[in-house]
Amino acid sequence: MQPDLRKQLKVYNTLSRKKELFQAINPPFVGMYVCGPTVYGDAHLGHARPAITFDVIFRYFKHQDYKVRYVRNITDVGHLVGDADEGEDKIAKKAKLEQIEPMEVVQHYTDRYHRDMAALNVLPPSIEPRATGHIIEQIEMIEKIIESGYAYESNGSVYFDVVKYNEDKEYGALSGRNIDEMLEGTRNLDGVSDKKNQVDFALWKKAEPEHIMRWNSPWSDGFPGWHLECSAMSRKYLGDHFDIHGGGMDLKFPHHEAEIAQSHACNHVEPAKYWLHNNLITINGQKMGKSLGNFITLEELFEGKHELLEEAYSPMTIRFFILQAQYRSTLDFSNDALKAARKGYRKVMNGLRLAKSLEYKADDSIEVNEKQAKNIESIVNSIYRGMNDDFNTAVAMAGIFNLLKKINAVHSGNIPAAQLGEQAFNDMISNYITFIEDVLGLKEETPDHFFQALDYIIQDYSAAKEVRDYNKVDAIRAKLKDMGVVVKDTKTGVEWAYDEA
């Protein structure tokens, strides 16, 4: 790797609408906050994209020797049906339907979310705070915002005064919304609401008598607004001003826009230096989401139990599917796309097995081919350039497949290892393994007992070949094919690989 590549990382900042050179506020430390799930249902394919996207970003920063504090929250109160300031809390609504406590809903779906994230090989964040665990911090923040003059109390609820804020600081800078157009597009309240303006949003809501989740506050028994929790928790664990705030593109407005306004009003500083947003996963061009009813849960994907699925797809197939596109590009679900991802994943895993088995063998009769050695260096640099170009995993993956071609050539003997030279050979192997496992987070899904069974089957295959029992040979080949494995007869013996078909 070129020594200056670490200094060339550029990220697309949604706030400035351009790629910027990443410069940590307090190197080598990096603070990153990402909006996590509202836990009232199972995680779906749409949830997998931000989880995997920011997992790779987390991994890449660590690979570059940054010390990362990654905070991803759990929303367990305040997220109302329709994402606005009216209606039932999504978790409380689920609790009523199930006739259980809201925290039972939270615990159940948090556990299932963690299970699915582990299956996808998503690393746990450094801190995973819950909104209900930070009510005090949220109340304190509201008090500071009121003191600054940007919030008002009305009938026990507290609202952020967007119009007043916009007089001093632009509201809509992140999303590109114009406040005059927002005001024109809303109906006249005519005294039917506690808000001064329809664009104002809740910092604290007075709980109606039937509302289950409520806390004491200076204004009423109630609950915090959805937007406030992230501002309070990012401030607590990362400070008033931190490096990265991330999340899905659908959170830009109103959630992240509100976060910026709240944090400015409280802390008088931009909360995050860089705002990163992953694009959405779509089905037939339409956003996948619970509210639209067109989602496929991760469990359904893993088990193949959904009417849109032709078969089951493994967690690593899903991860590969998401990584093959740059995180800001759209990604449309289809069975064909997932099958192609599975093929690519198996190719990469076959390469990983070979990379871990190859050893450098010096040969004084073979001269080092400098062109070949330089080519390895060039390919490795292309992987870094891809990752440094706003974490472009699609470009990085192309470089990884180019390394895979070299690994296959060395394994087959078409390129003797000695022709590369020891340094280039080691760079090829170490970078392939490191990027696959540590940065992209891909791994073999095969359990140990599979390998044990496979060893016996391969022994049977070799014995049948030895006595020319070709009927048995064909039967074993067919059995292995059903197991997703192909066998190859080579000069050095029998080898197997994952079936890439």
In whole angstroms, what is the distance from residue 179 CA to residue 161 CA? 12
| Token pair in block for residue 369 | 């081919």
In whole angstroms, what is the distance from residue 192 CA to residue 347 CA? 62
Residue located via tokens 């260096």: 377
Q: For residue 110, report the phi and psi dihedrals to the nearest 5 degrees.
A: -65, -45
What pLDDT does residue 291 have?
A: 67
In whole angstroms, what is the distance from residue 297 CA to residue 251 CA? 20
Of 275, 325, 454, 373, which is closest to residue 52 (Cα–Cα)?
A: 325
Check whether 186 has a pLDDT greater than 90: no
What pLDDT does residue 286 have?
A: 80
Q: DSSP strand E in 269-338: where?
A: 272-278, 281-283, 286-287, 331-333
Range 297-300 contact pairs with CB under 8 angstroms and sequence separation of 24 or more: 297/42, 297/43, 297/44, 297/45, 298/42, 298/43, 298/44, 298/45, 298/47, 298/48, 298/116, 298/119, 298/120, 299/42, 299/112, 299/116
Domain locations in the chain?
Answer: 19-278, 287-439, 450-498
Check whether 225 has a pLDDT greater than 70: yes
Q: pLDDT digit string (tens) for 82-130?
A: 777 888 899 999 999 999 999 999 999 999 999 999 999 999 999 999 9
In whole angstroms, what is the distance from residue 19 CA to residue 218 CA? 44
pLDDT band at 425 (very low <50, low <70, confident <90, very high): very high
Check whether 193 has a pLDDT greater than 80: no
In whole angstroms, what is the distance from residue 162 CA to residue 171 CA? 7
Check whether 3 has a pLDDT greater than 60: no
Of 437, 372, 382, 438, which is closest to residue 406 (Cα–Cα)?
A: 372
Mean pLDDT of 38-49: 95
CB 76 within 8 A of CB 132: yes
Mean pLDDT of 257-280: 97
Three-state SS sequence of 201-221: EEEEEECCCCCCCCECCCCCC
Distances (CA, A) of 150 to 113, 144, 222: 36, 9, 20
If you compute the radius of gyration of the chain from its CA atoms, what whole number of angstroms results?
Answer: 27
pLDDT band at 16 (very low <50, low <70, confident <90, very high): very high
By CB neighbour count within 10 A (0-12 exposed, 13-18 middle, 19+ buried), where does 264 fall? Answer: buried
* Residue-averaged pLDDT of the chain: 93
Check whether 201 has a pLDDT greater than 80: yes
Distances (CA, A) of 446 to 14, 286, 349, 361, 434: 40, 34, 10, 30, 19
What pLDDT does residue 2 have?
A: 53
Q: How many CA atoms lie less than 13 Å away from 151 in the CB half-sphere? A: 30
Lowest mean pLDDT among 2-11, 35-44, 210-219, 349-358: 2-11
In whole angstroms, what is the distance from residue 408 CA to residue 348 CA? 11
pLDDT band at 187 (very low <50, low <70, confident <90, very high): low
Determine the 3-state secondary structure of 19 from DSSP.
strand
Range 414-417 contact pairs with CB under 8 angstroms and sequence separation of 24 or more: 415/372, 416/363, 416/366, 417/358, 417/359, 417/360, 417/361
For the chain, the first-to-last Cα distance in angstroms comes to: 34
What pLDDT does residue 222 have?
A: 96
pLDDT band at 210 (very low <50, low <70, confident <90, very high): confident
In whole angstroms, what is the distance from residue 323 CA to residue 441 CA? 10
What pLDDT does residue 192 have?
A: 52
Q: pLDDT digit string (tens) for 18-34?
A: 999 999 999 999 999 99
Angle at 116 between CA 114 and CA 119, to 5 degrees: 110
The number of angstroms, rounded, from the C-alpha of 256 to the middle of its chain's C-alpha atoms is 18
User: Could you name the CATH architecture of 19-278?
Assistant: 3-Layer(aba) Sandwich (3.40)
In whole angstroms, what is the distance from residue 183 CA to residue 383 CA? 47
| Token pair in block for residue 475 | 């039967």
CATH 2.40.30.170 describes domain 287-439: no
Q: pLDDT digit string (tens) for 137-155?
A: 999 999 999 999 999 999 9
Residue located via tokens 């664009």: 199
